[in-house]
Structure 1
Amino acid sequence: MTNATIPPAATSLHPLAPPPIVADSVTRLGPEAEGAVLVAASHGGAYAAYLAAMSRVRGVILNDAGIGLDRAGLAGLDLAQKIGLAAATISHDSARIGNGRDMLARGVISQVNVAAIAMGVEPGQSCAEAAARLAAAPLPFARPAPYAEARRVLQPRGPRGPRIVLIDSAALVKQDEDAGQVVVTGSHGGLIGGDSWNAIKTDAFAAGYNDAGIGIDDAGTTRLAALDARAIAGFVVDAATARIGEAASTYEDGLISRVNRRAHALGLRAGQSAREAVELLLDAIEGRIEA
């Protein structure tokens, strides 16, 4: 996580506004976030807002991740509103998901909750301007109800066969236990911090994500190339077909929008269901097909 200053255009409008805390992921917050405005390049789902609220921030701006199925990319706005936390999202077409500095520099507000509206935040504002306005927001009046992301392991081909690891967030991966397996996440497909290890923190056989609407600079798919560099098959599902933040939805509902070279060599294609793709990957692990 890195601090960043508000660009001059916003500072001139709000000369006394403290700079926001800027993070590539809401999962990487330190104690300095308490009482501050947070600009985090995570998707705007419920768990991201929950983590922001648990860090006791004053206001939060996330990425709308293409909004997607059942408006899952905005679910965090409702969670925040319930505890009086001012929250907004920037358009995925205005700044790169997974890159907090880009979000502060280029982001344009797409959606807001009522608490943010009360602070003068509205769609069409720059992210920097919105962050400056949120600096005057009152602290939330409550803490959120307990909320946890899920991890589930499926063994469809018996106890000695390959496993399907369903994790709502890539942060739940287990480096040793999940190595060599098919990992399906609810996370966005944007590479965090430009580090290929952040694509998936294990040597999985394959990994799947939500494309977060793909977005500007194809940001919602940038983990795919990083996985190719590590010889890991990768795919993303269309945000309009699966709820971001929910691995089960990626697996059960998702239709693939893009694959990397390794996955293509194994037979994965855009338009396939994630279930069909996972079956091909399990076949490959068992040696039934060769890349």
Structure 2
Amino acid sequence: MDSIAFASSAQAGDVIVTGSHGGTSAGEYAVGFGVRVVVCNDAGIGKNKAGIAGLAAIDAQKIVGIAVGHESSRIGDGNDVWECGIVTYANPTAVAAGVRVGSRVSEEVLALIERSVD
């Protein structure tokens, strides 16, 4: 989806790939909706790592948080994040689940899903 704000509690337990920045509000949405995995854009990381602050914070809830580079995909375009995004940040929960920085996000998400099914 283009924005995490388009999600709802119907996505509880789901993997969502968004074009949203990974800031504090994105993390709050992810926790509120009960998602299992959220992918956002790093939005250039920014001052005090604001572009990924929400993804770092959701680690406390054991939610996988992944950001793709703002230079690899368009901010606000979930399809472009899926098709072109390269992982620039993975929170500790994501790293523990095997997510690798520098990889295509679509490959990493599919691998996460496959590992959870096994």
Query: TM-score, normalized by length of structure 2?
Result: 0.91
From 25, 28, 38, the equivalent of 1:50 is 28
From 41, 49, 60, the equivalent of 2:38 is 60
User: Does structure 1 residue 37 correspond to structure 2 residue 15?
Assistant: yes
Contact 2:9 2:34 (C-alpha < 8 Å) held by counterparts: no
Contact 1:119 1:133 (C-alpha < 8 Å) held by counterparts: no
Structure with max Cα Rg: 1
1:258-277 residue pairs with structure 2 within 5 A? none
Cα 1:80–1:134, aligned 2, differ >3 Å: closer, same or farther?
A: farther
Contact 2:87 2:101 (C-alpha < 8 Å) held by counterparts: yes
User: Does structure 1 residue 83 correspond to structure 2 residue 61?
Assistant: yes
Contact 2:26 2:55 (C-alpha < 8 Å) held by counterparts: no
3-state SS, counterpart of residue 4 of structure 2: coil
Contact 1:37 1:134 (C-alpha < 8 Å) held by counterparts: no
How far did residue 31 of structure 1 move? 4.1
Aligned to 2:4: 26
How far did residue 79 of structure 1 move? 1.0
How far did residue 129 of structure 1 move? 1.3
Query: What is the rounded CA distance, in whole Å, between the counterparts of 2:92 and 2:69 in structure 1?
Result: 18
Contact 1:25 1:41 (C-alpha < 8 Å) held by counterparts: yes
Gaps of 5+ in 2: none
RMSD: 1.3
Contact 1:36 1:59 (C-alpha < 8 Å) held by counterparts: yes
Q: Which AA in structure 1 matches 2:53?
A: A
| Overall identity of the aligned pairs, in % | 36
1:172-251 residue pairs with structure 2 within 5 A? none
Q: Which AA in structure 1 matches 2:20?
A: S
Contact 2:20 2:75 (C-alpha < 8 Å) held by counterparts: yes
Gaps of 5+ in 1: 1-22, 138-291
The structure whose RCO (Cα within 8 Å, separation 6+) is larger is 2
Give the number of the structure whose residues are more often helix, by fraction: 2
1:252-291 residue pairs with structure 2 within 5 A? none
Query: TM-score, normalized by length of structure 1?
Result: 0.38
3-state SS, counterpart of residue 116 of structure 1: helix
Aligned to 1:97: 75
